[in-house]
Amino acid sequence: MKLDKLGRKNLPWVYLFILPSVVVFLTFYLLPIVTVFVTSLTRWDGYNPPTFQGFRNYSLLLSRSVFLISLRNLLWWSLIAGTLHVGFGVLVAFLFSRRPVGWKAVRTVYMIPNVISGAAWAMIYRFIFNNDFGLLNGMIRVFAPGFNVKWLFQSPYAFWAVTLTWLFYAVIITLIVHADLMSIPAELHEAAHIDGATGLQIAWRIDLPLCRFSIGTSVILSITSRIAMYEAVALTTRGGPGDDTMNIPIILVNAITDMNYGYANAAAVSMFVLGIVTLVLVNWLFRMNRRVY
């Protein structure tokens, strides 16, 4: 690499400056990730040195119904996230782009659920779904007195109750897609108008395809957040009733608590793999490797 004068003279300083970031990267990213992958192939309790046992943790994982249920839940949640959740965020972004009265206020308020703690949000929903004093049953009882459902603790409602804690909160998607919509040249819309296209046709045939990147990114973001969803389950249903709302992070934390580190890390690797599969699949589905303009 060619070094400029300033750069060559300062090279020791440059490396000294980047050193802290490199140390953080090595200690908190590279080393942990390597540890996770390597020790997922071992039996390890944290005290005794890990002993290699091949893919036993993985076959164990796949043989347990709690993991299979987690995968099934993840599949459903990902489908809902990739369609309804992203769809809602995109819809709101399109409505914002028409600048209706008060859209900025709505945008500001829409952000609130995302700036408060995920733990607190889970609590709020635990209260909303509470059978005694919850907001939801309070509303239902206005029309049907005597109504009683423990949303978070009864099958099959628990799965849908957990889903509702995130389903409509798609503000990040709205902001990304809205930024993308704003960058579409106005001439395109004018040309389409002159050719006699209706608003819906313009949205469907021009805007949506042109926002492919931000929508694809949104799908990836929303599915990976489902893979890593912890508070919304741990602080509401803890995976129950039965294993109805189980997911992989819960399995991971339980395994750490049980000092079953190899098994925990196999679960962590499965999260990695699922994330990468999502990335590749969505990239291909949305043709994100091709240019838009």
Instruction: Please list every residue from 138 through 167 that binds other proteins, using CB under 8 A.
Output: 138-139
Cis? peptide before 241, omega within 30° of 0: yes
Q: Does 41 bind other proteins (CB under 8 A)?
A: no
Interface characters, 186-215, with other proteins (x: CB under 8 A): x--xx--xx-x--x----------------
Footprint on residues 115-134 left by other proteins (CB under 8 A): 115-120, 123-128, 132-134
The least distance separating other proteins from the CB of residue 209, rounded to whole angstroms, comes to 17
The least distance separating other proteins from the CB of residue 161, rounded to whole angstroms, comes to 14
Structure tokens at 102: 């008060």
Q: Helices marked H in the chain — which ranges?
A: 5-9, 11-25, 31-39, 56-63, 65-80, 86-97, 103-115, 118-128, 135-143, 157-164, 171-182, 186-194, 199-202, 208-210, 212-227, 231-234, 248-257, 261-285
Q: Does 66 bind other proteins (CB under 8 A)?
A: no
Q: Name the residue nearer to other proteins (CB basis): 97 or 154.
A: 97
Contact stretch for other proteins (CB under 8 A) within 34-42, 64-72, 75-83, 146-154: 34-42
Please count the residues of this chain forming the interface with other proteins, following the rule CB under 8 A. 101
CB neighbour class for 267 (10 Å; exposed up to 12, middle 13-18, buried from 19)? buried
Q: Name the residue nearer to other proteins (CB basis): 46 or 209.
A: 46
The least distance separating other proteins from the CB of residue 112, rounded to whole angstroms, comes to 5
Q: Does 76 bind other proteins (CB under 8 A)?
A: no
- Exactly one of 62, 75, 79, 179 binds other proteins (CB under 8 A); that residue is 179
Q: At which residue do the structure tokens 């709690």 appear?
A: 66
3-state secondary structure of 42: strand
Q: Does 110 bind other proteins (CB under 8 A)?
A: yes
Q: Does 108 bind other proteins (CB under 8 A)?
A: yes
Footprint on residues 3-22 left by other proteins (CB under 8 A): 3-4, 6-7, 10-11, 13-15, 17-18, 20-22
Rounded CA separation 243/245 (Å) = 6
Residues 6 or more apart in contact with residue 286 via CB below 8 angstroms: 212, 213, 215, 216, 219
- Exactly one of 150, 159, 231, 283 binds other proteins (CB under 8 A); that residue is 231
Rounded CA separation 189/97 (Å) = 13
The least distance separating other proteins from the CB of residue 152, rounded to whole angstroms, comes to 13
Rounded CA separation 273/41 (Å) = 15
